[in-house]
């Protein structure tokens, strides 16, 4: 992809996702993810209706008039986007691939955090850490994140979520808001997730395509695993073959839901042909 085409794509995603974050998600994000608490801002004269518990008695005694302490929410938060860029994300039977939806969701979340003056970081992972961008603030930082999501070429096609979680926990010493965007066609991360969730506010967003849920009856079909590169001839007319695949897929989905639920982490499903806007809004409102 040449520079001109890349910038055009970045700009297109910015316009779409920034509009969403400005008009829809900004307030919901602020309500859902609170700051660390209340911090002292200033002292002003007492007004009718003020809480008497906030009276500053030292200043009141000095001026012989009641003064109250004013507090404001301490918003300094950090959002970490953990994005799965393994081979299985390059799948899509409708108008978009899973990785394209993932990019839009990540950009929307990043701009929502920017609107609240929060820092945003990025981890791109496969079965290794492909890229780490430390948390920073600002529009240009978000545009860099979008650019990497569009053009980054991973070294591996496999997935290891447990290792990615360990890395995130090591680099993020303070509590962070963490969004994991993946299809979660992987397991062996339950215990690691439980440990990391005790420190960080984690949400898993499962992106999937309806064609992944079951194999259609198409006769003998050559199928290639996007992550291993293994190619095999599959008899999709066999009910047993279709049933085995369906059960395998359901097991991965159940593992995802069970792992996040028992870890106290949030989770939501988003199909590529559905509105991720409604899904995110619904999730924010349930959490607020």
Give domain status of residue 227, yes or no: no
176-234 tens-digit pLDDT: 999 999 999 998 999 999 999 999 999 999 999 888 888 877 887 777 666 666 777 88
Amino acid 2: pLDDT: 64
Amino acid 264: pLDDT: 95
Give domain status of residue 206, yes or no: yes
Please tell me whether residues 145 and 182 are part of one structural domain.
Answer: yes
pTM exceeding the 0.75 threshold for the entire prediction: yes
Give domain status of residue 103, yes or no: yes
* Domain-terminating residue out of 23, 57, 74: 74
Please tell me whether residues 55 and 83 are part of one structural domain.
Answer: no
140-189 tens-digit pLDDT: 999 999 999 999 999 998 999 999 999 999 999 888 999 999 999 998 99
Please tell me whether residues 41 and 104 are part of one structural domain.
Answer: no
Examine the pLDDT at 39 and tell me if it is beyond 80. Answer: no
Please tell me whether residues 41 and 108 are part of one structural domain.
Answer: no
Q: How far apart are CA 249 and CA 138, in angstroms?
A: 39
Please tell me whether residues 47 and 89 are part of one structural domain.
Answer: no
Q: How far apart are CA 146 and CA 150, in angstroms?
A: 6
- Residue 212's nearest CA partner among 175, 185, 177, 176 is 185
Amino acid 89: pLDDT: 61
Mean pLDDT across 226-243: 79
- pLDDT band (50, 70, 90) for residue 31: low
Please tell me whether residues 154 and 119 are part of one structural domain.
Answer: yes
- Mean pLDDT estimate for the chain: 85
Which residue segment(s) compose the domain that 183 sits in? Answer: 3-32+76-214+255-287
Amino acid 99: pLDDT: 87
Mean pLDDT across 230-239: 80
Asked if 24 and 279 touch (Cβ cutoff 8 Å), the reply is: no
By the 10 Å C-beta count (0-12 exposed, 13-18 middle, 19+ buried), 52 is classed as exposed
Examine the pLDDT at 241 and tell me if it is beyond 80. Answer: yes
Amino acid 237: pLDDT: 83
Amino acid 235: pLDDT: 81
Amino acid 34: pLDDT: 62
Please tell me whether residues 143 and 186 are part of one structural domain.
Answer: yes
What are phi and psi for residue 45, nearest 5 degrees?
A: -65, 145
Examine the pLDDT at 138 and tell me if it is beyond 70. Answer: yes
Q: Which residue has the higher pLDDT, 75 or 252?
A: 252
Count of Cβ atoms closer than 10 Å to residue 101 Cβ = 24
Please tell me whether residues 176 and 92 are part of one structural domain.
Answer: yes
Out of 16-30, 41-55, 145-159, 202-216, pick the least confident. 16-30
Please tell me whether residues 270 and 174 are part of one structural domain.
Answer: yes
Please tell me whether residues 264 and 277 are part of one structural domain.
Answer: yes
Total number of domains constituting the chain: 2
Query: What is the CATH number for 19?
Result: 3.40.50.410
Please work out, in degrees rounded to the nearest 5, the angle formed at the alpha carbon of residue 193 by the alpha carbons of 224 and 145: 65
Give domain status of residue 142, yes or no: yes
Please tell me whether residues 45 and 135 are part of one structural domain.
Answer: no
């Amino acid at each position: 992809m040449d520079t001109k085409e890349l910038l055009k794509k970045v700009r297109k995603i910015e316009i779409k996702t920034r509009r969403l974050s400005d008009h829809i998600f900004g307030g919901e994000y602020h309500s859902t993810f609170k700051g660390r608490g209340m911090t002292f801002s200033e002292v002003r004269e007492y007004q009718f209706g003020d809480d008497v518990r906030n009276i500053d008695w030292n200043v009141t005694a000095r001026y012989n008039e009641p003064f109250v302490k004013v507090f404001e929410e301490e918003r300094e938060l950090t959002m970490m986007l953990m994005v799965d860029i393994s081979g299985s994300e390059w799948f899509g039977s409708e108008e978009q691939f899973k990785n394209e939806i993932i990019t839009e969701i990540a950009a929307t979340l990043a701009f929502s955090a920017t609107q609240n003056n929060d820092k945003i970081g990025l981890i791109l992972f496969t079965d290794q850490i492909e890229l780490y961008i430390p948390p920073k603030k600002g529009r240009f930082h978000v545009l860099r994140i979008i650019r990497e999501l569009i053009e980054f070429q991973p070294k591996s096609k496999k997935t290891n979520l447990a290792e990615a979680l360990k890395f995130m926990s090591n680099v993020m010493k303070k509590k962070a808001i963490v969004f994991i965007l993946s299809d979660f066609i992987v397991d062996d991360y339950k215990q690691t997730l439980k440990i990391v969730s005790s420190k960080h506010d984690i949400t898993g967003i499962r992106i999937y395509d309806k064609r992944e849920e079951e194999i259609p009856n198409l006769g003998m079909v050559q199928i290639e695993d996007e992550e291993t590169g293994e190619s095999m001839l599959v008899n999709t007319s066999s009910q047993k073959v279709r049933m085995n695949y369906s059960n395998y897929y359901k097991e991965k989905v159940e593992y995802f839901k069970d792992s996040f639920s028992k870890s106290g982490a949030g989770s939501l499903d988003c199909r590529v042909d559905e509105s991720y806007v409604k899904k995110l809004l619904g999730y924010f409102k349930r959490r607020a």
